[in-house]
Structure 1
Amino acid sequence: MTTSTSCVYVTHLVAPKLGSTDAECEDAVAVFPGCSHDHMLREPLTAGVCDGATESALAKDWARLLSRTAAEHAMELPDVLTGGTAFEEFASSVVARWEPWLVWYTQARHAEGRPLKWYEHTKIADGAYATLLTVRVDPDDSHADATEPTWHWRAAALGDSCLFHLHENRLVRAFPVAAVEEFGTSPDLFGSRNHDAALLARRTRFTEGRCEAGDRLLLMTDALAAWLLSAGDQDDAVKQLLEFTGPDDLDGFKDWLNGLRGCRRLRNDDVAFVRIDFEGR
């Protein structure tokens, strides 16, 4: 029997809401290993996607720290994505990183001649908040003698950033939100000062699955996910999303988003999008 080799391609795009700059965007993505979108990955891959809560101070900074730390931990400790003690240790670890970052931020603001105002201190004391979606993909060595390669993936989600599994470019699974009616105005959030790691673990949902060559995983924050789930012609919506294959498409991606916003099919919110393509060779 001839053994197939496998590879994965990954790209991600982040775009601010209409009327905001890239620097103001409160959605964040981290992918490990860091490599170009046309690089053939044959090793484990992790991604963290976060949607910072606008009503909290420093949401974009927390979203960036949280997404990066989640992807790092998923790469180092796969059991993080099965819940329990491993996830609690991750939760404690990322919250512990926030205070040192705040010290650095406060000092940087002072050095720039822009010390924090009293009202900023008050809001910062309340903490920053974001949703979290973390995914890890591994080549499935348990089927090493198969003619077609497969991959095993695990995911953890707190809040309404979503993962979609496509087979033959058709949506076959959505996690953790399966229908547009399930989106609400108050999703669960990961707080930068929430030291109750067990509570965070209980509120987080975990799942896993397998992909074949030709399958895709799409990760995205809530506004784009709601658009996809509400589309009258879901196959066409998927086709539109798959037009964007790399970072060179970012300007076109922003124009496309703004077109959807203009006809009120997409809520005007920041967007983070990760595309993972599985191929056999």
Structure 2
Amino acid sequence: MSDGASISYDSRGWARCLCRTFIRNTNFGADWLDVARTRFSDTFRPPENDWAAAHGWDRGSFATFLGFTLTRERLVTHGVGDTILFLVSEDKIRIWPEMGEHDFTSSPALLCSHPGRSAFDDTEIAFEKATHHFVAPAGGWPAGTRLIVATDALAEWVIRALSHEDRLSRLNLISCHTDHAAFASWVSEAISGGEVRRDDCAIVVVEL
């Protein structure tokens, strides 16, 4: 999942390029990012006579990224920015990237379409630090294990809960909707009621 920064040039297109590149190649690293940048340039670079778009292009496009690969033995998660994966297994909650309620800001580290324009350092060490391995228990992941990926407004709402039980309840609530309309209705009510910050709200739920 990738959440584009709305103030940057065609951030939706950049987010899509990141996701599509990861689907084709899960080898998360500097070479992977170069492929995404090339794909974005080939597809979304504005014409030279469009001065306003060219100015935005030169500043770069920015987006979070959360990708994972799952086997019977382990879950490998790659996270840059404030899109969060919650691993819920036997009522235990683990998250990546690790963030507290005060870590959600308007300027998270993001992947940029141009090298050297982001707080995220495009080095192999940085990619390694953005990667975490969750090892499955002996015998594999228990039935009912869930992977819940949420963009920042929903992730912040979950992490803001003071107790483990409240966090689990909030995760159950955002992941229980069986169709888009029901989820959209709940998000609208939660934003109107001041529970969830007004921002893009998206989730992916995988249940084993």
Normalised-by-shorter TM-score class? 0.7 to 0.9
Q: Match for 2:126: what amino acid? A: R
- State the Cα RMSD in Å: 2.2
Checking the alignment, whether the CA contact within 8 Å between 1:132 and 1:158 is kept in structure 2 is yes
Tell me the residue number matched to 1:45.
none
The answer to whether residue 70 in structure 2 is matched with residue 132 in structure 1 is no
The answer to whether residue 193 in structure 2 is matched with residue 272 in structure 1 is no
Tell me the residue number matched to 1:15.
none
Query: What is the SS of the residue equivalent to 1:271?
Result: coil
1:72: Cα distance to partner?
Answer: 1.9
Report which structure shows greater RCO (CA 8 Å, sep ≥6): 1
Tell me the residue number matched to 2:173.
240
CA pair 216-199 structure 1, distance change in 2 beyond 3 A:
same
The answer to whether residue 39 in structure 2 is matched with residue 51 in structure 1 is no
Q: Which of 110, 119, 122 pairs up with 1:199?
A: 122
**Distance between the aligned counterparts of 1:71 and 1:184, measured in 2?**
28
Tell me the residue number matched to 1:177.
98
Checking the alignment, whether the CA contact within 8 Å between 1:162 and 1:219 is kept in structure 2 is yes
CA pair 129-116 structure 1, distance change in 2 beyond 3 A:
farther
Checking the alignment, whether the CA contact within 8 Å between 1:179 and 1:229 is kept in structure 2 is yes
1:184: Cα distance to partner?
Answer: 2.1
Identity rate of aligned residues, in percent?
25
Deviations 1:186-209 (A, max 9, x none): 111111122799725433411111
The answer to whether residue 184 in structure 2 is matched with residue 254 in structure 1 is yes
Deviations 1:246-269 (A, max 9, x none): xxx101101100111011111111
Tell me the residue number matched to 2:161.
231
Checking the alignment, whether the CA contact within 8 Å between 1:223 and 1:267 is kept in structure 2 is yes
TM-score under structure 1 length normalisation? 0.64
Q: How does 1:1-281 map to 2 (within 5 A)?
A: 49-74=1-26, 80-81=27-28, 87-103=29-45, 106=47, 117-140=50-73, 152-168=74-90, 170-194=91-115, 199-204=122-127, 205-209=130-134, 210=136, 211-232=141-162, 233-245=166-178, 249-278=179-208
**Distance between the aligned counterparts of 1:231 and 1:116, measured in 2?**
50
Q: Match for 1:241: what amino acid? A: I
Unaligned runs of 5+ in 1: 1-48, 75-79, 82-86, 107-114, 141-151
- Specify which structure has the higher proportion of strand: 1
How many residue pairs were aligned? 196
Checking the alignment, whether the CA contact within 8 Å between 1:53 and 1:129 is kept in structure 2 is yes
CA pair 220-274 structure 1, distance change in 2 beyond 3 A:
same
Unaligned runs of 5+ in 2: none
Query: What is the SS of the residue equivalent to 2:53?
Result: helix
Q: Match for 1:223: what amino acid? A: A
TM-score under structure 2 length normalisation? 0.85
